[in-house]
Structures are given as C-alpha cells and as structure tokens.
Structure 1
Amino acid sequence: MASSTQALIRPDLWQQDSSGSVSFRKDFSKDRYIEHFITSTVPESKNLVLFTEKAAWNIIWKLGEEGLDTAKLHLMFAAHAFKQEKPWETEFKLAGSDLIKELGWDNRKDLSKTAKLKKVAHHAWLLGSLAVKITWSEGKRDSGVDYSRMWNIPLITELGQPNLQGLIETPQEVIITVKPGAWIERFLGQEELYQFGWLSQQLLRIDSHNGELALRMAMHLTTDSRTYLSGQYQIRSLLEDVLPKEVLEKARSDRRRSYEIRQRLYNAITQLKQLGWQIEGFEKKSKLDELLDTRITIKLPTPIPRLIANQTESKPRRLPPASAAVALTGNRVKEARKARGWSQAKLANFLGVSQYLVSMIERDERSITPDTESKLRQVLLD
C-alpha cells in the first residue's frame, strides 16, 4: 500500500527502460521489491495488458495532475475492503455520493454534483489501471505476486435520466463495483489490510483541494508510522519523500519559489496541528536551507491500534538481539536498513547523526559506539 500510494502521487519517480516498459519500483532489499505498471482497464481480460511508452505516460501524467485524490480514493478502497470477511473473494459496491463526502468534496462550491460524480468515476477508472508485481521472499516463504491489478473495477454504473440517444449526461448517482486484486490475499493479509484501512480513515479528514502539501505529508507519515515509531524527521528528507526533486532544487535557487515553499510548509504544519497531529521542534525560518535542516518530531493524532503494532512487530526484518553472539557489522546494518525500506538519510535522522557517518559505518570505515549500537538495535531489532 505504501509503494502504491507513492506511485500515485510521484509520477516523477516512474521510469521507462530501453524496451519501452514503464514502471515504478520500490526496493526493500535484494529479494524484496515491489513494481507498479499501467494496464488496460478491461476487467474481463485474464492476462493483463501492460501499457508501454506513450500509452502508459498518458495515464501516469494524469496521476500527476490528480494523483492526490486518486491516492485518497485508493486508501478509501482499502478502508472498505478491510470490513469484508474475505476481501480477496468479495466484490463491494460504493455510491459516488458517499465517496464525495468521504473525499471531503461535499462542501466544494467550484464543482456541481454531476461534475463531482464524474470525477469520482474518473479516479476509480485510474485506479483500475494500476497493476502491481511483488517479489518478496522471507526465508523459505515466497510471498511474491505475479502481475495483478491493485483494484478490479468491473463496473461503473451511472444512474439518471437518459437523453434521446439513451446517454446519461447528468448522472444523479454513480455506483462503483470494486474487487481487490490478488495481491491482498497473497501478500498483504487480513491484519495488514485492517491496518491500512484504519490508517486511511485518518487521511479522510484532510481536504486535498485546500491542503495539498498537508495531504502529501499525511499520506507519507501515515503509511510510514507502521514501522517508524519515533516520528523524528529532518524536514529536507521529509519533503524529498513527498515532492518532486525539482521543486526543492528550484526553490533553493529562486527567491520567490523559496518563499512559496516555506509558506506551503507553514500552512501544512498548521493544518496538521489543527487536526490533532503531534508536532514538536518546528520553527519558522527566514532562510530555506535553515528550515530544511530543522529536525522535527511528528506523529499521528491517534496511536495505531495495538493489533496493528503487534502485526508490525512480528515481521522478521530486523537484526538479532544483542544477546545473540552476532557482530553488528556494517554490512548487517546496511542489509537490515534496506530490509525496512529506509534510506541512509532516514536512519541518520533516527540516530541523530549525519548521513555520511551512516555511510562510513556501513562500509566498516567507522567503528560503532555503544550508544549508536544501542540505537541501531532498537530500530533494526525485532
């Protein structure tokens, strides 16, 4: 779910290879990575038809224009799916008017009801084009998933008065039929689906129309909170995770853009605080680089249910305990960090050290102090 959410809101991270194949890939470790593709939305096709080159990019750039709302609907589907007893076997139907309320569009005055319903249907169609392939091995267990749609959308029904040609130009309701893809049963499982369903409900309180950066941050922080319990971030690395790289690069060399990005961040922090997010250490700065270097602690307004925490803690992705006679080498730190899907910068944020020091530790060019080892085992230890 975390990789697919990022794929929806970061079209700049999609890549095309020499054969014309277009994909988004998120690596976790050597034998664990998740890839996303764009596919035909024809649900009856047993074999997915993956779009390449221009056909794929046409949809990806639509995500760039509207990806936040599409990602929000994606999480809403998860929220509804986890309520099903066997979501991988069950189709469920959602009314567009209900989704409009959940998306926070009911108070928008710039769109008519008909336009909102058509927009919901459009986002559902975009989600139906997102496919996933999962390569994931844990010991002898293979949790991999061959090409699968994230969500099968077999039917979008418009209800209303047809015109003389039999077409419904102004629908009064839209009914979207949704069936989760095979990835849910094979890879995610009921409890993790419950987790993401619960987390998605926290995001529904943020209006993507008026709080674009706040929603981007909340999506990233919410999915990150499953494993990154400290909530400590450097603002630079946080923004690099949620905004295209060129946005920050241009802001650092342009005074007007620098002011705009600072104001967007101030507004986002204010919105999150108003929604009950716990934020410590944030101060306004007159210079962008000083602001980007600031370290803050930011956590969800409500702790994740204990069921979720237990599920997260049970995953064997960390280092052996200190009591085990296993040396904490640079290579072991590197492998464990990648297994969690963390960058060197993110691990450095947690440790309160520089990324350069983490790099030296992983190359065995700097010895690990007892204090650093304790922190490493805390974050990478099961």
Structure 2
Amino acid sequence: MAYSITNQCVGCDLCRPQCPTGAIKIDNGQYWIDSTLCNNCEGFYPEPQCLLTCENDTPVPYQAKKGRYKADVRPITSPEIFSNGVNSPFASAIAIWELCNVLTQRRSLPWQQETDNNLYYKRSVKQGRNKIAFRVTDEASLNAEAVLDGLDIRSACMHLIYAAYATNLEKPWEEEIIINDRQIEEYLGLDKRKDLSKIAKLALIKELAQQPCQIQVSLEWAQQGRVPGFSVEWSHLWHMQEIQHHFQEDDMGCRHLVGLTFRVKAGKWSQHFLNQQGYKEGNSFYQYGSLPKSLLAAVMRLWQQHEGAVRMMLWLLFKTKMGLEQRITVPTLMRVAYGADKIAQISGDRESRKRLVRAFENDLEALSHYGLIPIFDPLTYPTEIQPLWARLQDIPDDAESALEFWVNDGSKDRRLTDASPRGKWSRLMNARILYFELPEGWEHQAEKEKKKQRKVSKPHTVTSIADRMSLSSEQIHIARKDLGLSQRKLAEMTGKSQSWIRDIERGRFKVKSEDLALLQRALGQA
C-alpha cells in the first residue's frame, strides 16, 4: 500500500530522511509522495517510517484520483514536431547515431572502466581520423554499472524526439526545448494505452525522458574541407534543465501528480553539428534526416518481444540516410541486433546458431510487417536460405494461380517448404541484403538524396539503343513507387503475375526485351 501526504503537512522534514525508497519529495516547498516508489517500507522496516515520524498524522493511504483531471495552466511548450502527421526533421549527426546505439545496445558494446569507476565506450570514425567516446555518468552519487543496466531501449525514442525538437532551434546549444507529458504520450502512442494508469504513464515518461541525459560525449574531430578541426571535452548530449511537476488536490487535500513539463537543452556537440549560421559560413556542419512518427510507436510496440528488430530498425534509420543503395551483410545486422560478443560465443555451438538464426528471421519478419522489407541478394542470399515467410510471399493471391504455383513447386527437386540446407550458417555469414524497402515517412530523405544525385552534371556520352532500353531492377522499383503503383497493379497493367513483378524487382532474373517494352509503357518510360 502506498501513502500520500495531505495539505496539513507543516514541512518539518522529519519523514523524508527516513524514507528508504526516496519516495518523499519536495516541490515548490510542498511535500508529496511518489506512489510509484512508495512500497509501504516493505523489505526495509516492519512499519511505514513516515507514519512513525510524522507528528501531525498527515500521511494517509494513497487513493487513486477519481473523476476527470481539471484543466490546469502549464508553461508554453516548443512548437509541435510531426506537423504533417508523418515525419519530422531531426538531428542525425554521428553523436546522435552513436547515442542511439548506446541506448539500444547497452551491454552489447565494448565498455571500458576508468580509474574513477566511470564506464566509457569509444570508437574511431573516418578511418581513425576522428574519435568519439561516451561515458555513462560523471556523478559520484550514481553507480555507472547500475545506470547502464537500467537503460531502457525505449529511451532511444525520447532521444530522437529531442533531436527532432533541436532542429527547430536556431541555436540549440543556447535555447531550451520545452515539452510536456501530453505531447510525449501522443508521440509514443501512450495515449492509446488503456491498460496503464495516469500515474504509471507519468512515471514511465519521466524515466525515459531522463535516461538520454545521463550520457556524456567526447569528440575529437579533424579538419574536414573548410570546417576546421575541433574537440569537445566530456559534455552531456542533452542537459535536463528542469522537471516541473503539476499537481491537483482531492477533497482530502492530497496532492496528485497529473502532469510533467521538461526543459532540455542540447549539449556542445550541437554547436558543431547543428549550427545553421556556421554551416552557411562554412565552419560548422548542419546534419539532419527525417524521423518517421510511425517508428516511435513501432519501437514502443515491439521492444519486449523483438528487441533485435528494434535495434535494427533504429540503426537503419541512420543507415538509410546515406542512400537507398546500401549493401548490408547479414553478420553486420546480427551484430547490431544481438551484439558482437554473442555472435562470437555461439560460433562453435550448432544449437545456439540455430536459435539465433530463428530469432534473426523472426526479427526480419517483424521489420517486414512494419514496412522495412529486406531485398535479398539473389547471389549470396538465394531462396533456399531465405526465411520461410519471405519464400511464402511468392505465392500468388489468385486461387488458380496459387494452385498452379503449388503444383509446379511440388514437381521441383527442392520444394518451398523443405528444411534449410546444411551449412546455412556459413552461407549466411557471407550473405548480403541489397537494401530495404522503406515504409511511409522514411522515403522523404532517401528521395531527397536521389534528387541531389540526379542534379550532378555528368559528361555527355553516346549510348547504344540497348543501353537506353535497359531498365535495372532498382529503376523498375523506383519508377513504380514514384507512380504510386502496387506490385499487383503493375502486374495487371502488364498482364503478368504479382510474383513475376516481385522477382524482377529483386533482381532474380533479367527482363526479356518484349517484357521490357511492356514495363516501359506501364511505367511511362517508353
């Protein structure tokens, strides 16, 4: 049973030092008990210490607030992100990417211990020319190991929300981001969670909002073009300036927490990587990408059952910023999803490898359901070692076509549902994914990069008729997406099956000249 404090409290401060869980807090000179921390002193004392020490009997058993929450006056917040309801610009510099990896991979990264017992993780960038390092905490009152173990993968969502808000500021290292619990609830999809009470949502939001602010960064950057070299000593990426609690009193005079407002400021890194004026003058960077709103809700939905998928999803958010044509090896994705140490540990254990492959294929399927569809390299990642869910996608929707498909499949030496061949692990270690099809909200930045590439002037060359008529699988995929056509619709327009269009886009075989003419007419490129 938790307790709360009525308005009869005189502020003698006898109870607060006795609370073993730190649940008794002071806000604007008034005492209140955080019901999510109060546990009736179980495991510490036989009786609640606040009851024993209080001379006015102000602690009373906690009762959840009844009725609706009254409208209250709160500080004006920063302008909303996701103004179009789909995506928002966000700071995507290397410091932001790496902190996202720290929050998601946690113990999977190679942490080292300093002499003062702080933990740090470092890596080189640009073939060793630049260095970036992260430290869990510099506060002696906090245990670095405990902080690292307590990191919640969902805190990466708050980190990205801060990064999106920072792009709205002209000087984010000087200006504050003001955001409240109502906005965060909507961004993370918590407003639809009917299984969580208001106090539980507030406790979760407060925890997730603070975790990105517990990490420090150190940067050593060499000169790059006109931008001079610079260094940033240990500094927080995000400074939590203030957490403002909003209360309402019930008929008994007990204060109930009904809202939170956070004031956050970007660290020194933003002066070098998110500096609009410096970028115009050529002495700083201004690096940003596109943050899909659906990504945040997906992370909040998948984090328990598909943590590996969440890690890959957040990693791909930054990887796809570099362009659609990114060849990604399976070992790279596995290291992102499960950590390099785990991959090394199971390399000699056949059963562990099988379990990891099943987990990897399930996580890829979770990504596919979200809309991040892997396009497998037909040479290194052929059909026989692809996940079963990927092979089943080739089944036509039409009943007659599906029957013909299964009849043909049954007559082959190797059928679709056959078990994976021997040596699958070794083949996967050499397999690649050509790219990922991107869901709505992700394509904005990738298309922007393509338009930039198209604007680059190229020397005039004489091309043959065959060259002009050829269409690569990627060109077909992009042209179809640009026209807003589904694979099924394009199949109807060309008189082909949906699986034929899918195989063409995956590069499984080359288009014949007569079929190429059909595709060009359907795609408006004749």
* Correspondence for 2:222: 137
Deviation at 1:34?
A: 0.9
Give the alignment partner of residue 119 of structure 1, picking from 189, 204, 210. 204
- Residues 1-382 of structure 1: pairs in structure 2 closer than 5 A: 1-12=96-107, 13=109, 14-18=111-115, 20-28=117-125, 29-39=127-137, 50-51=138-139, 55-63=143-151, 66=152, 68-108=153-193, 110-138=195-223, 141-161=228-248, 168=255, 170-190=256-276, 195-196=288-289, 198-199=290-291, 201=293, 203-210=295-302, 211-227=306-322, 229-249=324-344, 251-252=346-347, 257-281=352-376, 283-284=386-387, 286=420, 287-299=424-436, 300-301=438-439, 302-305=442-445, 309=449
Deviations 1:118-139 (A, max 9, x none): 1111122222211111110115
- Aligned match of 2:410: none
Change (3 A) 1:18 1:87: closer
Cα 1:167/1:214, change in 2 over 3 Å: farther
Q: 1:86 to 1:265 in 2, by over 3 A?
A: same
Task: Tell me how far apart the structure 1 counterparts of residues 308 and 337 of structure 2 sit (CA, whole Å).
Answer: 8
3-state DSSP class of the match of 1:85? coil
Pairwise CA RMSD: 3.4
Which residue is equivalent to 1:329? none
Name the TM-score, length of structure 2 as normaliser.
0.50
| Alignment CA distance shift 1:243-1:189 (3 Å) | farther
Matched residue of 1:221: which SS?
Answer: helix
The residue type paired with residue 295 of structure 1 is R
Cα distance change of structure 1 residues 171 and 124 upon mapping to structure 2, 3 Å threshold:
same
Q: Greater Rg, structure 1 or structure 2?
A: 2
Stretch deviating more after TM superposition (246-255 or 146-155) = 246-255
- Checking the alignment, whether the CA contact within 8 Å between 1:214 and 1:269 is kept in structure 2 is yes
SS at match of 2:299: coil
Distance 1:180 1:19 in 2: 26
| Structure 1: gaps of 5 or more residues | 40-49, 314-382
Query: What is the percent sequence identity of the aligned residues?
Result: 24
AA matched with 1:71: A
SS at 1:298 equivalent: strand
Residues 264 and 101 of structure 1: CA distance in aligned 2, closer, same or farther (over 3 Å): farther
How far, CA to CA, are the matches of 1:166 and 1:127 in structure 2? 35
Measure how far apart 1:184 and its partner are: 0.5
Equivalent-residue separation in structure 1 for 2:139 and 2:429 (angstroms): 38
CA distance in 2, matches of 1:131, 1:177: 18
* Aligned partner letter, 2:246: L
- Give SS of 2:143's match: helix
Deviation digits for residues 335-372 of structure 1, max 9, x if unmatched?
xxxxxxxxxxxxxxxxxxxxxxxxxxxxxxxxxxxxxx
Query: 1: distance between equivalents of 2:351 and 2:234?
Result: 44
Distance 1:119 1:137, change over 3 A: same
Deviation at 1:86, TM superposition (A): 3.0
Greater relative CO (CA pairs within 8 A, separation 6+): 1
**Cα contact 1:143–1:187 (8 A) shared by 2:** no
1:261–1:208: structure 2 CA closer, same or farther, 3 Å change rule?
farther
Q: Distance in 2 between matches of 1:90 and 1:176?
A: 13
Give the total of aligned pairs. Answer: 298
Which structure carries more helix by proportion?
A: 1
**Offset of residue 258 of structure 1:** 4.2
1:378 matched to which residue of 2? none
Aligned mates of 2:160, 2:223 — CA distance in 1: 26
How has the CA–CA distance of structure 1 residues 213 and 120 changed in structure 2, closer, same or farther, with 3 Å as cutoff?
Answer: same
SS at match of 1:84: coil
Displacement of 1:19 in angstroms is 5.4
**What amino acid maps onto 1:155 in structure 2?**
E
Structure 2: segments with no counterpart, 5+ residues: 1-95, 280-284, 389-419, 454-526
Matched to 2:229, the amino acid is D
